[in-house]
Every structure is written in structure tokens, then in C-alpha cells.
């Protein structure tokens, strides 16, 4: 005989929570399906995926190539940036003219290299490749043939630094400033490295923070010195200027400030692309991806 259920018996806690668990499980499954669909939508390309040989993938630094429905090509590649691998997709026609550049992934410094994702930067790659970096000593090299297309002044200067080891520069100077300079050169962040030149023989004069220099700066700022009254700059920049102005002066002298570039550093035969301010390594990575994509389309795809 079936025992009657006691309507007043307490309901187990798991039974009370069962509807909630079921709802949470359904929501989780729906979210996973949605994320998969979103990712698939982001990676779907309206075209045909073309085969790429391992040799070409290694030589040109590319990972995928599509022939789009309109007859153009989408080439995806990767290059080492300052602190991450920069991945980009380049759209070109059969003649090697670039119509679009899209940064797929990067983890560069937000205020510097991370700006490569902005349309203001990527839109510069328009028209006929190869591209060079405006105001920078930069050489475009065909990854398959080794042919070089040097920016003006780049080829003659680059050879002087080919065998230069920054670790051997002023080895007797073990100061933090000297070590920082060696590391900056090795990372391609000094003007000499950008121009393909060895490091200079000595460091710039240190900032003068003596009581006398501080007093002179205050006198000038108060309009009490002769140079201030005559409307002239102070005669001794490294002694009389503020630390900020001294830094700005050094950057201007080294032509590293925005709006100033080295004279004759860009070839008239190549399309100019401005480097991101202070982020030449990231700019170079993107430019290399674009140029390698151009060489792959014109040398491999057009030859088939």
C-alpha cells in the first residue's frame, strides 16, 4: 500500500534550488553558444581560404591567405613588436595595391604602440606598396629574394652599425645612465639606432641641479636676469633651463620630437608612412606585415 505524502513535511534545500540551478545552466549554455557564434562571425572571411606552403609562411611571416569574392586578397601575418606579437590583416589587389589594413591583435603600450589600431594610422597604408617609415632610416627587404629598397641615407649608414655591439660601448662607464643608453640602443629607441649608426662616444651633459643653476632659473622666470629683460633665451641651456625644458631641448636636438624629422630620411620611390610617435618598433612591425603581404601577392600568387 502506497504511503501518503505528508504535505507538512519540510522540502529539501536542493529541491528548492533546483529550478534556479536549471535556469543558471541554461543561461550558461546560451552564453557559450553566443560567444562561439560571435567569434565565428569575427573570423569569417567572405572568400576562399588558399593553401600556403610552410616555406612561404616562414619566409613571408604569414598565417592565412584568402581570395575574396571581389578578386582581391586578404593576407594575415605577424611580426614582433616592442612587447608583443602584432598580428594584422592586409587587403590587396592582384597588383599589390593596398586597400585596407586591420590590426587583429596586439599588446603594445597603450599610449604608444597600442595606437596602431587607430584608423588614423592604418589608413596611411593606401595605394601602391612597398611602404617606408617617414622620417626614419628604414629599409624594405624582399623576404624571398633579399632585394633591398632603402630609404634615402639608410643603406650607407646601416653598414656602419651592422657589427656594432652596444654592450661594448664605453665599457668603463658603468653608471645607470650609460647602461640605460645601451639598452635603449639595443631596443632601437635611440636616434643612432633608428638611423643605423653606432652610439656616440659620450653621453649628453648631465642636468645641472646645483643651487646656482636653480637660482639662475628662478631669476630668469621672475624676469630679473638680463636675458629675460632682453627677451632672449638663457645663454646656458643645460645650466639655466628647468629639467623639463632641458629634456625638451635634448629631444629637439636629437630630432625625436613630433613634427621634426631627419632631413632626407625617406626615399621618394616608396610610399611614406608616419611612424607612431615614440613607437617606431610597433610601426615597423605593421609596415613589415604590409610589405611582406605585398611581396607574397606579387611574387607568389601572381606567379601561379
DSSP string for residues in 157-210: HHHHHTT--GGGTTTT--SHHHHHHHHHHHTT-SHHHHTT-PPPSSPPPPP--S
- pTM exceeds 0.85: no
3-state secondary structure of 295: helix
DSSP 297: I
Q: What is the pLDDT of residue 38?
A: 46
Q: What is the pLDDT of residues 154-207, one digit of tens each?
A: 444 444 555 678 888 888 878 777 787 778 777 766 666 766 677 766 555 555
CA distance 52 to 300: 10
* The length of the chain, given as a count of residues: 304
Q: What is the pLDDT of residues 80-129, one digit of tens each?
A: 998 899 999 999 998 889 999 999 999 998 888 999 999 999 999 999 88
Q: What is the pLDDT of residues 43-54, one digit of tens each?
A: 578 889 999 999
Quick one: what percent of the chain has pLDDT higher than 90?
29
Q: What is the pLDDT of residue 125?
A: 94
Q: What is the pLDDT of residue 189?
A: 67
Q: Is the bond preceding residue 123 a cis peptide, omega within 30 degrees? A: no
pLDDT tier, 254 (very low <50, low <70, confident <90, very high otherwise): low
Amino acid at each position: 500500500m502506497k504511503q501518503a505524502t505528508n504535505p507538512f513535511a519540510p522540502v529539501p534545500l536542493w529541491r528548492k534550488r533546483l529550478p534556479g540551478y536549471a535556469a543558471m545552466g541554461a543561461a550558461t549554455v546560451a552564453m557559450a553558444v553566443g560567444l562561439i557564434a560571435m567569434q565565428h562571425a569575427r573570423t569569417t572571411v567572405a572568400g576562399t581560404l588558399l593553401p600556403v606552403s610552410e616555406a612561404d609562411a616562414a619566409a613571408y611571416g604569414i598565417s592565412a591567405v584568402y581570395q575574396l569574392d571581389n578578386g582581391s586578397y586578404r593576407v594575415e601575418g605577424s611580426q614582433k613588436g616592442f612587447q608583443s606579437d602584432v598580428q594584422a590583416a592586409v587587403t590587396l589587389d592582384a597588383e599589390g595595391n593596398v586597400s585596407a589594413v586591420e590590426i587583429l591583435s596586439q599588446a603594445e603600450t597603450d599610449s604608444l604602440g597600442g595606437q596602431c589600431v587607430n584608423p588614423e594610422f592604418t589608413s596611411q597604408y593606401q595605394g601602391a606598396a612597398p611602404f617606408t617609415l617617414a622620417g626614419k632610416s628604414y629599409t624594405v627587404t624582399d623576404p624571398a629574394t633579399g632585394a633591398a629598397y632603402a630609404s634615402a641615407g639608410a643603406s650607407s649608414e646601416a653598414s656602419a652599425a651592422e657589427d656594432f655591439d652596444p654592450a661594448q660601448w664605453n665599457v668603463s662607464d658603468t653608471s645607470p645612465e650609460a647602461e640605460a643608453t645601451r639598452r635603449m640602443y639595443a631596443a632601437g629607441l635611440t636616434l643612432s639606432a633608428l638611423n643605423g649608426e653606432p652610439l656616440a662616444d659620450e653621453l649628453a651633459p648631465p642636468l645641472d641641479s646645483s643651487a646656482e643653476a636653480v637660482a639662475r632659473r628662478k631669476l630668469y622666470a621672475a624676469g630679473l636676469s638680463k636675458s629675460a629683460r632682453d627677451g632672449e633665451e638663457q645663454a646656458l641651456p643645460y645650466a639655466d633651463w628647468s629639467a623639463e625644458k632641458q629634456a625638451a631641448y635634448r629631444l629637439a636636438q636629437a630630432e625625436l620630437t613630433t613634427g621634426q624629422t631627419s632631413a632626407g630620411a625617406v626615399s621618394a620611390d616608396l610610399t611614406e608612412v608616419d611612424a607612431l610617435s615614440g613607437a617606431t618598433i610597433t610601426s615597423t612591425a605593421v609596415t613589415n606585415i604590409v610589405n611582406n603581404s605585398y611581396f607574397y601577392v606579387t611574387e607568389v600568387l601572381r606567379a601561379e
